[in-house]
Amino acid sequence: MALKQILTEPNKILREKSLKVNQVDEDLQKLMDDMLETMYAAPGIGLAAIQVGVPKRVIVLDIGWRDKSERTNDEKQVA
């Protein structure tokens, strides 16, 4: 896996229309793995492919906790 550079405004690439993805192949899986590594290193909870200069409709997200001990006292679990 490899860390990617995260693009920020005013980079014009961020305004490009991303292309639809019809199938997840080996190259796309590698991109998503690289995006996850980049997102965690940032640190962040989500990253779009366009933010790493790839105009494809792909996002990676982490909306959960790795374990319950990471929750803060202010966070409440919704059932």
Residue 75 lies in a domain: no
Residue type, 2: A
Residue 57 lies in a domain: yes
State mean pLDDT over 53-76: 76
Q: What is the percent of the chain with per-residue pLDDT over 90, rounded to a whole number?
A: 77
Longest dimension (CA), the chain: 42
Q: What is the pLDDT of residues 11-41, one digit of tens each?
A: 999 999 999 999 999 999 999 999 999 999 9
Q: What is the percent of the chain with per-residue pLDDT over 70, rounded to a whole number?
A: 81
How far is Cα 6 from Cα 36, in angstroms, rounded to an integer? Answer: 12
Residue 1 lies in a domain: no
Which CATH number covers residue 17? 3.90.45.10
Per-residue pLDDT at 79:
38
How far is Cα 41 from Cα 25, in angstroms, rounded to an integer? Answer: 24
pTM equals 0.77
Residue 33 lies in a domain: yes
Residue 38 lies in a domain: yes
| 32, two tokens | 């998503």
Q: Which residues constitute the domain of residue 63?
A: 12-70
Nearest to 52 by CA among 6, 2, 17: 6
Domain count, the chain: 1
Q: At which residue do the structure tokens 């997102």 appear?
A: 39
Residues in the chain: 79
